[in-house]
Amino acid sequence: MNAKAKVLVVDDEEVVRRAYIRTLSGESCSVEEAWNGSEALLAMEKQPFDLVLLDQRMPGIDGMAVLKTIKENWPESEVIMITGYPAIEAAKQAVALGANDYLAKPVGPDEVINAANAAVMHKKWALHGDRKDGINLGRSAA
């Protein structure tokens, strides 16, 4: 039996956080939330997460700065950058800083699940080298 994936959802819009939490919550993962970059980094200090769904534009510390800090301090945590303002240069920067994926809003439930599963599988492969030991975060797209 696989351990539950620990997921942190970081977005300054409550409706977006709730949608991602509703999509990912269940038996296969535990989901927590943060509404800004500072809150996200405090949560990471208490308990590093397997996966962080991270909004790019937030008040205070922006997503790119949070991504950089996460990858410097918790390199084994996977990060998916999500933005309502997609740009090629921002996507390149996010990947260069260590993001597993870069998604443009609006992001549907299946896209969230597929991206999250891919990121957690990547983490499992990197840590254990066992491609069969994945954590399924929910239903897959049909």
Q: Residue 46: what pLDDT?
A: 97
Strands (E), 50-130: 51-55, 78-83, 101-104
Q: What are 23-53's pLDDT values in tens digits?
A: 998 767 899 999 999 999 999 999 999 999 9
Amino acid at the residue 80? I
Instruction: Report domain extents, the chain.
Output: 5-128
Q: What are 42-83's pLDDT values in tens digits?
A: 999 999 999 999 999 999 999 999 999 999 999 999 999 999
Domain 5-128 has CATH 3.40.50.2000: no
Burial zone of 3 (CB within 10 Å; 0-12 exposed, 13-18 middle, 19+ buried) = exposed
Cα 14 to Cα 10: distance, rounded to the nearest angstrom: 10
Q: Residue 1: what pLDDT?
A: 27
**Residue 15: partners with Cβ closer than 8 Å, 6 or more residues away:** none
Q: Are 67 and 79 in contact (CB under 8 A)?
A: yes
Cα 142 to Cα 125: distance, rounded to the nearest angstrom: 24
DSSP state of 14: H
Q: Are 37 and 7 in contact (CB under 8 A)?
A: no
